[in-house]
Structure 1
Amino acid sequence: MSGSDDRALIDRFLEMLRAEAGAAGNTIAAYGTDLRLASEVLGGALSTAGATELERLAGQWQTLASSTVARKSAALRRFFAFLADEGFRPDDPGVALPRPGAARPLPKVLSTADVERLFGAISERLAREPGDPLDLRLAALVELLYGSGLRATELVSLPRNAVAPDRPFLILKGKGGRERLVPISDRARAAVAAWRAQVPAASPWLFPSGKGHLSRVRLYQLIRALAGLAGIPPDRVSPHVLRHAFATHLLEGGADLRALQAMLGHADIATTEIYTHVDSRRLVELVNARHPLGEALADARVDAKPDPA
């Protein structure tokens, strides 16, 4: 990639931060400065930097205060996680960056009850008289985010006929021409069909807006507004959080990690393992219930009990 590629990707990352709640203006400005300086040091090749380049970059931070190093590391790690999740690179080299006195925060998680509240708010809007076509759009957007785990960029840029009424999946082409199959539930197909009936036949986009398609920023705004209607703090909900909920809830339901990796479009299984955080108690229960040794150990405990006198 060239320096101009770095600039374009940094701008896209900062746009995502602006749209995502919790990113204060000062934080965005500091992150932007840190990323542009890092890109300059690496000759405009920050986006493609590997562990060696990042270790060399971090070596120049040795005289800085630990709080400054922590901020710079956080900016770069979040940038690389964004690139990996959006398919702009197949790996996340952020592990090579220092982590001075700070543990990695767990991703925001929505419970199934939270998701039910979101869909409940959508149902209330759809039941209004007279109906509003934009409520049909909102229903299609949320069904695809939570039901298929699409990335925000993938969702807003879907072609008008990407979701076929007789096909329970769609094929997405990501960075580098990599294709993946994404499952589409009956509910999502029905929601998309209802919305598509409102989209002009000449539109190349499923979610048109102005001369193009719906923007990522507008998508974030719509999802946060829906959270408020559902009685959920808006800063807890975003398109990425719904994608995470898709992955987490599937994994909790027993989905195979490799299948999940394919559905999410992660080149590296390690990205899926981090992204689909599941509490350790449930994993222990899963091992005890499903592992072949679990039944044998249970039988052994029964056999070891003394006979009643």
Structure 2
Amino acid sequence: MHYQDAAALEMFVDYQRAQNLASTTIRNRTSILGTFARKTGSLVDADIFTLRRYIGRDDAVSAGTRRTERGALTAFYTFLHDEGIRPDNPATKLPVVRVPKGKPRPFSAEQIDAMLAAGTYTKTRAMILLGYYQGFRVSSIAPVHGHDIDMLSNRIRTVVKGRKEVRLPLHPVIAALALTMPLDDYWFPARQGRGGHIHSTSVTDLITKAKKRAGITDDKLTPHSLRHSFGCDLVEEGVDIRVVQELLAHENLSTTQIYTQVSERRKDDGIRTLTPREVPARSGRGAAKLAA
């Protein structure tokens, strides 16, 4: 990366930290911008045609990825323009990326059981349980600490998107798990002598390995799918959608709406309610002619 590009990216990182944006957001944007610079050969001086060509590249890139990349590029070039580093903002002419309405990608109960039973280590099993029984993202699983658990109020503390701290009801399975985990330390401490907790990417890697060991080959199922299972199963059991929204710590109810889509099981149950009819083996036309 050119010195000018690297310097601008570093200033953008400082700006985002001053905004108090989540470290995962800053890290993801930095990765997107770094990849863009490597593939196009320029970052600060890129024109609108380069931006459009990059966003609209390979058909294998999902609409969601294109939207995320557009957001990172827009934020970066808006910063450059506001700071006077660029006289214009090429990102203002980027088209809006149309993204199809999302659908949940949940693990089935059998798949979750298979992951837990496929020779998975204790810590990884705990991660899977937090993903399903608390609906935690990997970014919330990684920093779980013994101090986050309050057995008296039956609550678990976590920090969700937007760096908002919330206290959620503690599922009995996680309450029992907490008795076997560190009371005064991180549940998943960093490795190789480093302080703090493991990175969320490590959580993703460990759960993904458990998925593969269980023989689950569906690429659309990711560690985040445990959260989808949590939301879908709550809706399936008739939990009010507003309660589901609070348990998932969604800012907007519209985000929770994807979990209200009719499940395959309910479709199967619905179609089976139609009473079977006895279908004649023959048309009966011959008998009708003879009778005439």
Q: TM-score range by the shorter chain?
A: 0.5 to 0.7
Look up the match of 1:206: 187
Look up the match of 2:156: 170
Q: 2:257 aligns with which of 264, 269, 273?
A: 273
Does the C-alpha gap of structure 1 residues 30 and 250 become closer, same or farther in structure 2, counting only changes over 3 Å?
farther
Counterpart of 2:67, as a letter, is R
Q: Give 1:136 deviation, angstroms.
A: 2.7
What SS does the corresponding residue of 2:224 show, helix, strand or coil? helix
Residue pair 1:163, 1:192 contacting (<8 A) in 2 also: yes
Deviating more after overlay: 149-158 vs 166-175: 166-175
Look up the match of 2:84: none
What SS does the corresponding residue of 1:267 show, helix, strand or coil? coil
Counterpart of 1:97, as a letter, is V
Residue pair 2:55, 2:66 contacting (<8 A) in 1 also: no
Residue pair 2:157, 2:168 contacting (<8 A) in 1 also: yes
TM-score normalised per structure 1: 0.57
Look up the match of 1:45: none
Q: 2:113 aligns with which of 116, 121, 125?
A: 116
Counterpart of 2:136, as a letter, is L
Look up the match of 1:145: 131
Alignment partner of 1:97 is 2:81:
no
Alignment of 1:230-245 (within 5 A): 230-233=214-217, 235-245=219-229
State the identity %: 22
Counterpart of 2:117, as a letter, is G
What SS does the corresponding residue of 1:190 show, helix, strand or coil? helix
Q: Give 1:277 deviation, angstroms.
A: 4.5
Unaligned runs of 5+ in 2: 1-10, 18-22, 73-94, 274-292
Q: 1:258 aligns with which of 242, 262, 277?
A: 242
| Count of aligned pairs between the two proteins | 226
Alignment partner of 1:77 is 2:67:
yes
Counterpart of 2:141, as a letter, is L
Aligned-pair Cα RMSD in Å: 4.4
What SS does the corresponding residue of 1:239 show, helix, strand or coil? coil
Residue pair 1:137, 1:195 contacting (<8 A) in 2 also: no
Q: Give 1:258 deviation, angstroms.
A: 0.8
Does the C-alpha gap of structure 1 residues 277 and 12 become closer, same or farther in structure 2, counting only changes over 3 Å?
farther
Q: Give 1:260 deviation, angstroms.
A: 0.9
Residue pair 2:115, 2:214 contacting (<8 A) in 1 also: yes
Does the C-alpha gap of structure 1 residues 156 and 147 become closer, same or farther in structure 2, counting only changes over 3 Å?
same
What SS does the corresponding residue of 2:97 show, helix, strand or coil? coil
Alignment partner of 1:156 is 2:156:
no
1:51-106 CA-to-partner distances (Å, cap 9, x unmatched) read xxxxxx89x85xx6994497596434246999xxxxxxxxxxxxx8233xx74563
Q: Distance in 2 between matches of 1:112 and 1:206?
A: 25
Q: Give 1:262 deviation, angstroms.
A: 0.8
Q: Give 1:255 deviation, angstroms.
A: 1.4
1:264-294 CA-to-partner distances (Å, cap 9, x unmatched) read 11111111113664438838979xx9xxxxx
Alignment partner of 1:3 is 2:12:
yes
What SS does the corresponding residue of 1:194 show, helix, strand or coil? coil
**Larger Rg computed on CA atoms:** 2
Q: Distance in 2 between matches of 1:65 and 1:215?
A: 29
TM-score normalised per structure 2: 0.60
Unaligned runs of 5+ in 1: 18-27, 42-56, 83-95, 126-134, 290-309
Q: Give 1:220 deviation, angstroms.
A: 1.0
Counterpart of 1:207, as a letter, is F
Q: Distance in 2 between matches of 1:170 and 1:68?
A: 43
Q: Give 1:216 deviation, angstroms.
A: 1.1
Q: Distance in 2 between matches of 1:40 and 1:250?
A: 49
